[in-house]
Structure 1
Amino acid sequence: MNQSLRFPRAIGIILPSSNRVVERVARSILGERPDLDACFTRVPYAGHPPDGYDMPAFHRAADMLAETRPDVILWNATRGALIGFEPDRRLAAFVEKETGIPCTTTALATVDHLRRRNLRRIGLLAQGADREGARLKQTFGAEGIDIVAGHCLGIGDNFEAAGITPEEIHAHARRLASVADLDAVLIWSTNLAGHALTRLALNETRIPVLDSTTIGFEGALDYMTGSCRPLAPA
């Protein structure tokens, strides 16, 4: 390698095949960070076993990302919460072992973010059906996070979630904040365009809005700089 060449540090991001939001959010966050790059690859949205991941697909994706020499690899998707967080811990360990590059996921970064800030009473705006909302209440609860209010959009086609406007998302989040005593509202899908809302607070209560795509990316930044390492499971 030509030692005169200098490259910005980079985050390698794996995202679901039908996602239209993650790359846009990365560009927004990195707009004022010329010292950082983001490199992307995709895995199929469908075809994973019900209790885990299609590991050969992740192996191929991680190997390709590794060729860009990122400082950290991020699985920027929320599936891990639905299947119980442990599969994400195994996935991160697998990617680290195969590539030698630290790995985290949006689901793991979100639990870490909430627990470190003692944000325990959460209103959750989720993409899927009500049964998935009930499952998320269980899995977050096992990590010490109480979903005290929730609204599920009933979207089964992941691509369609990207068509929900920020204005619609904001309206749903405000309704959640009006029905319960919350520490935060969490937008739970990396294909929902919630990044623009993260600087807002809801109504006079000043309840923060958290976006899963943004938390995943910022968690990877913290992981990369060594300023934050994941907490142990609850």
Structure 2
Amino acid sequence: MTKRVLLGMLTPSSNTVLEPVTQAMVAGLPEVSAHFGRFKVTEIALSDTALKQFDDTEILRAAELLAHAKVDVISWNGTSSGWLGFEADERLCERITAATGIPANTSMLALNEILAAKGAKTLGYVTPYLDAVQEKIVANYAALGHACKGDRHLNLQDNFSFSEVTAEQLSAMTRDVAAEKPDAIAVICTNLRAAPLVEKLEAETGIPIYDTIATSVWKSLKMAGVDTRRVTGWGSLFRDL
């Protein structure tokens, strides 16, 4: 019997997109399965109440439950460090591994690794977030050396509402950003249905598009020793890196 590869994913409680999309991405890998743990996240904003949702205590509790499934890796499949600061994810990964003995990653740290590997100097953004949240994300990426070149966001706050943004809206937003010719486009949110559109939109625009559900899956597979090139139809990320 081929050794199973079990991917653990930490998921916002109100998210309805990343689970089916993640399952679809790994569907062609018979030895790989994804397993999910939830903790409370219902809104994305900069208020004290919204920021407290990402307290490590709740995330670690969910991670410890995932560890019972003997997963090979645990990923925070979320984008909160985009506005909290990337050191929040670095600290979280350290704490997850210390508590569970399982290597950890996050969607955003994976995205940062990808952008560095590709040498992206300019970055376009597609997100559902509020203006204030988006400003934090753009500033944090500018500090990493990725200048903003194209930004479309929807000024939404309710996390569930992100999942109801249509494929037509997401495609139009991505095309608008692509028109500004950034080195890469980041779709930052793991409750948007953008990942299934990436292959077509990359072919159309000629620009690499990195969806944060995909970055989490990519990094998790790499950490588990799975050849990411076996994931087909989900964009250049899995072929090129």
Superposition TM-score, scaled by structure 1 size: 0.88
Instruction: From the superposition, tell whether residues 201 and 94 of structure 1 become closer, same or farther in structure 2 (CA, over 3 Å).
Output: same
Whole-angstrom distance in 1 between the partners of 2:49 and 2:4:
34
Match of 1:125 in 2: 126
Choose which of 23, 28, 48 in structure 1 pairs with 2:24: 28
Instruction: From the superposition, tell whether residues 51 and 115 of structure 1 become closer, same or farther in structure 2 (CA, over 3 Å).
Output: farther
By how many angstroms is 1:98 displaced?
A: 0.2
- Aligned partner of 1:208: which letter? P
**CA-to-aligned-CA distance 1:40-79 (integer Å, 9 cap, x gap):** 1101115877388322212211111001101100000011
Match of 1:232 in 2: none
Match of 1:42 in 2: 38
Whole-angstrom distance in 1 between the partners of 2:204 and 2:54:
42
Q: Is the 8 Å Cα contact of residues 12 and 70 (structure 1) preserved in structure 2?
A: yes
Could you tell me which runs of 5 or more consecutive residues in structure 1 were left unpaired when the two chains were aligned: 229-234
Match of 1:196 in 2: 196
Instruction: From the superposition, tell whether residues 76 and 48 of structure 1 become closer, same or farther in structure 2 (CA, over 3 Å).
Output: farther
Whole-angstrom distance in 2 between the partners of 1:38 and 1:8:
11
Instruction: From the superposition, tell whether residues 102 and 202 of structure 1 become closer, same or farther in structure 2 (CA, over 3 Å).
Output: closer
Match of 1:18 in 2: 14
Tell me the SS of whatever aligns to 2:111.
helix
Tell me the SS of whatever aligns to 2:74.
strand
Q: Is the 8 Å Cα contact of residues 177 and 202 (structure 1) preserved in structure 2?
A: no
Between Structure 1 and Structure 2, the one with more helix by share is: 2
Q: Is the 8 Å Cα contact of residues 107 and 212 (structure 2) preserved in structure 1?
A: yes
4+ long deviations beyond 2 Å: 46-53, 200-205
Match runs of 1:194-233 below 5 Å: 194-201=194-201, 205-225=205-225
Q: Is the 8 Å Cα contact of residues 10 and 71 (structure 1) preserved in structure 2?
A: yes
Q: Is the 8 Å Cα contact of residues 111 and 210 (structure 2) preserved in structure 1?
A: no
Could you tell me which runs of 5 or more consecutive residues in structure 2 were left unpaired when the two chains were aligned: 43-47, 229-241
Whole-angstrom distance in 2 between the partners of 1:52 and 1:138:
22
Q: Is the 8 Å Cα contact of residues 104 and 220 (structure 1) preserved in structure 2?
A: yes
Q: Is the 8 Å Cα contact of residues 126 and 152 (structure 2) preserved in structure 1?
A: yes
Match runs of 1:17-96 below 5 Å: 17-45=13-41, 50=51, 53-96=54-97
Whole-angstrom distance in 1 between the partners of 2:204 and 2:75:
35
Whole-angstrom distance in 1 between the partners of 2:168 and 2:87:
34
Instruction: From the superposition, tell whether residues 227 and 34 of structure 1 become closer, same or farther in structure 2 (CA, over 3 Å).
Output: closer
Tell me the SS of whatever aligns to 1:200.
helix
Q: Is the 8 Å Cα contact of residues 10 and 39 (structure 1) preserved in structure 2?
A: yes
Match runs of 1:94-109 below 5 Å: 94-109=95-110
Asked whether 1:134 is paired with 2:135, we answer yes
Superposition TM-score, scaled by structure 2 size: 0.85
Residue identity (%)? 28
Choose which of 4, 7, 18 in structure 2 pairs with 1:8: 4
Match of 1:113 in 2: 114
- Aligned partner of 1:14: which letter? L
Instruction: From the superposition, tell whether residues 173 and 49 of structure 1 become closer, same or farther in structure 2 (CA, over 3 Å).
Output: closer
Q: Is the 8 Å Cα contact of residues 200 and 208 (structure 1) preserved in structure 2?
A: no
Report the number of matched residues. Answer: 223
Q: Is the 8 Å Cα contact of residues 18 and 191 (structure 2) preserved in structure 1?
A: yes
